[in-house]
C-alpha cells in the first residue's frame, strides 16, 4: 500500500474515531463502512487528512485518520483500471459516455490517469453518489514537466467527449487544472497541502509568487 495521496479512497475510519463535535450524519455514514477521501491539508506524522461524504451534496466533513486504521486503499488510477463504468446501470449519462470514449485513448498514450469526484467514489465503493448531470473528474499523475502545448492537445481530446470534464495534473508539489496550464496566463493556481499558490511553473515550487 502506497502512502495515501489526494483523491485516494480509504476504508477503516469508524464513527468512534471522529471527534465529539462531528455531525450525526458523518457518524451514520461511517457506520455503513463508507470510504473517506484523502484531501489536501497538513497532517501530523502517522495521520492523513480526509473528508467524509454524506448522502447530500452539502454534507462534507473534514477529519483526520490514523494511517494504521487504513484497511483498504483505492486510488483513482485503480478505479480507471477496474473499468466498472462499462457495467454501470446508466451507460447513457454524459460522464459515463465520456469515460468510455476517453479511456482507450488515455491508455494508448500510457498516461497514469484516474477517476475522482462523485463518479470515482461510486465506481470504487458501489455507493450511489453520481447523477445524470455529474461532471467527469479526472486526475493525471505528472511527476515530470509537461508543456503547455501538450496540455492544449489533451484539452482538445477532452473537448471531443460528451459532458463537462475537469482534469487535474498532479505534480510533485500539488495539483493544477489542465485547462489552466493549457492557457496563456503567466501564473497558474497550484493546490498544495498548505493551500493554493500562484506559480509560473507547477513543477518548480521555488518559483512561487510572493
Give the residue numbers marked as catalytic: 135, 137
Query: Around 165, how many Cα atoms within 13 Å sit in the side-chain half-sphere?
Result: 29
How many Cβ atoms sit within 10 Å of the Cβ of residue 179? 18
Q: At what angle do helices 94-108 and 148-159 cross, to 10 degrees?
A: 140
Nearest CA-CA partner of 2 in 190, 131, 141: 141
CA distance 206 to 22: 38
CA distance 106 to 102: 6
How many Cβ atoms sit within 10 Å of the Cβ of residue 130? 21
List phi, psi (to 5°) of 124: -80, -35
Nearest CA-CA partner of 49 in 66, 37, 64: 64
CA distance 42 to 48: 8
For the chain, the C-alpha Rg in angstroms (whole number) is 17
Amino acid at each position: 500500500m502506497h502512502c495515501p495521496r489526494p483523491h485516494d479512497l480509504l476504508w477503516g475510519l469508524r464513527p468512534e474515531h471522529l471527534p465529539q463535535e462531528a455531525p450525526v450524519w458523518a457518524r451514520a455514514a461511517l457506520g455503513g463502512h463508507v470510504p473517506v477521501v484523502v484531501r489536501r491539508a497538513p497532517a501530523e506524522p502517522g495521520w492523513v487528512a480526509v473528508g467524509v461524504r454524506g448522502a447530500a451534496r452539502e454534507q462534507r466533513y473534514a477529519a483526520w485518520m490514523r494511517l494504521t486504521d487504513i484497511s483498504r486503499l483505492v486510488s483513482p488510477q485503480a478505479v480507471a483500471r477496474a473499468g466498472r463504468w462499462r457495467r454501470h446501470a446508466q451507460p447513457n449519462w454524459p460522464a459515463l459516455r465520456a469515460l468510455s470514449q476517453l479511456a482507450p485513448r488515455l491508455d494508448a498514450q500510457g498516461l497514469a490517469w484516474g477517476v475522482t469526484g462523485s463518479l470515482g467514489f461510486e465506481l470504487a465503493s458501489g455507493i450511489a453518489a453520481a447523477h445524470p448531470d455529474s461532471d467527469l473528474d479526472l486526475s493525471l499523475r505528472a511527476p515530470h514537466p509537461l508543456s503547455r502545448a501538450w496540455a492544449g492537445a489533451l484539452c482538445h481530446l477532452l473537448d471531443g467527449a460528451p459532458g463537462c470534464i475537469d482534469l487535474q495534473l498532479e505534480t510533485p508539489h500539488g495539483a493544477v487544472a489542465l485547462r489552466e496550464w493549457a492557457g496563456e496566463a503567466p501564473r497558474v493556481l497550484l493546490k498544495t497541502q498548505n493551500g493554493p499558490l500562484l506559480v509560473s511553473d507547477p513543477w518548480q515550487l521555488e518559483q512561487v509568487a510572493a
